[in-house]
Structure 1
């Protein structure tokens, strides 16, 4: 059985802002790499923050989550939680083979590939949400400094 959920968001001009479609189906986890944290010149198989990483020369934005900002964080609590999300994403990506799936929209307005990252049919983004290091992406940025 395959379950599908999707979200559609329009920006203030009525343009498609973000679409993500997530399917729970038998996984075909064939991708893997040894990930490190990104540095000034490192743009291959590295983690930028809790919801963005580079894989095989492509900058990937995890489509189903939002994590605290690191560049720059708006408060110390956001920085701390953002660093925790970044570290956890690194651990999750290095924990074994995974799959990337695209929704209706291939890229965001910054040129990042929008992908759901899964292992054995389970979203790695959902793991970050369950661990309170991320929120479900609802198409809008919400602050991390109030009520953290």
Structure 2
């Protein structure tokens, strides 16, 4: 995993949607070099080579294979996951935002961090819009 630290983080902290290459949805299994960035799903992005799991909220899983719902209820989760991912992509591509990285998650494979738009955590926006739940201790409402 490529870790962004010190001056690299400072240089990348605040980006204007108008000043950068627009983000896009990642291709399944895609890994990005330091110049690329894309949305994996509603709570994970690749950001300049770093896999960033957004903190304090959870969105539905975009594939039935990773679903948190019982068999037979995965279609609802996958549908809502697509909506959450599309909304995150829209927010990031239309508004200036900041990225804060904290540490590595429990898997050791992703950074934990926050994306803020006008000082508001994008997770709070997605929760308010019914596309995400608080994490931990939020109810799993999409099954």
Give the alignment's TM-score, normalised by structure 2: 0.71
> Does residue 1:107 correspond to 2:104, yes or no?
yes
1:126 shift after superposition: 0.5
Q: Which residue of 1 aligns with 2:54?
A: 62
Runs of 4+ in 1 over 3 A off after TM superposition: 139-144
Provide the rounded CA distance (Å) in 2 between the counterparts of 1:132 and 1:141.
Answer: 12
For structure 2, which runs of at least 5 residues remain unmatched after alignment? 1-12
1:45 shift after superposition: 0.9
Q: Which has the higher strand share?
A: 1
Provide the rounded CA distance (Å) in 2 between the counterparts of 1:54 and 1:141.
Answer: 27
The RMSD of aligned alpha carbons is 2.2
Provide the rounded CA distance (Å) in 2 between the counterparts of 1:64 and 1:38.
Answer: 22
Give the alignment's TM-score, normalised by structure 1: 0.69
Provide the rounded CA distance (Å) in 2 between the counterparts of 1:64 and 1:98.
Answer: 17
For structure 1, which runs of at least 5 residues remain unmatched after alignment? 1-28
Q: Which residue of 2 aligns with 1:136?
A: 134
Which sits farther off after the overlay, 109-118 or 40-49? 40-49
Aligned pair partner of 1:122 in 110, 120, 123? 120
1:138 shift after superposition: 1.0
1:117 shift after superposition: 1.0
Aligned pair partner of 2:43 in 51, 58, 74? 51
- Contact (CA 8 Å) 2:99, 2:114: kept in 1 or not? yes
Aligned residues: 115
